[in-house]
C-alpha cells in the first residue's frame, strides 16, 4: 500500500482546477458562506440585521455583518454572511 504525500500546494491547485471547471461549465461557484447585500434606510437596516441574527444565530451559523457603509443619501449598504450549516 503506497500513500501519496500531498503538499498544501497540491490541494490548492486541485481546488483551483475544480473551481475553474465549474466556471467554464456555467455552474455557480460553491462557497462555504452565504452572502446577501442590502441597501436600506438606517432604521430598516437595523431591523433587517436583527431579523437575520434572530433567524440565523451567530452560534450556529457564524452570522456577521461582513461589510457596511453609509451612502451619500443616508442609506446603509451592508453585506451579511453566514454559514449554511443548519439549512
Strand ranges (E), 1-87: 34-40, 64-70, 76-82
Q: Which three cell numbers stand for residue 7?
A: 503538499
Spell out the residues 6+ positions from residue 21 whose beta carbon is closer than 8 angstroms to its own. none
Q: Which three cell numbers stand for residue 49?
A: 440585521
- What whole-number percentage of the chain has pLDDT above 70? 80
Residue range 7-24, pLDDT digits in tens: 778 877 887 787 677 666
Query: How is the beta sheet containing 64-70 ordered, strand by strand?
Result: 34-40, 76-82, 64-70
- The CATH architecture of the domain made up of 33-87 is 2-Layer Sandwich (3.30)
pLDDT number for residue 44: 97
Residue ranges of domains in the chain: 33-87
Amino acid at each position: 500500500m503506497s500513500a501519496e504525500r500531498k503538499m498544501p500546494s497540491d490541494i490548492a491547485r486541485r481546488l483551483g482546477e475544480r473551481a475553474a471547471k465549474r466556471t467554464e461549465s456555467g455552474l455557480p461557484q460553491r462557497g462555504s458562506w452565504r452572502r446577501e447585500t442590502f441597501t436600506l434606510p438606517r432604521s430598516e437596516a437595523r431591523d433587517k440585521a436583527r431579523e437575520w441574527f434572530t433567524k440565523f444565530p451567530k452560534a450556529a451559523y457564524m452570522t456577521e455583518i461582513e461589510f457596511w457603509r453609509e451612502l451619500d443619501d443616508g442609506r446603509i449598504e451592508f453585506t451579511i454572511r453566514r454559514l449554511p450549516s443548519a439549512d
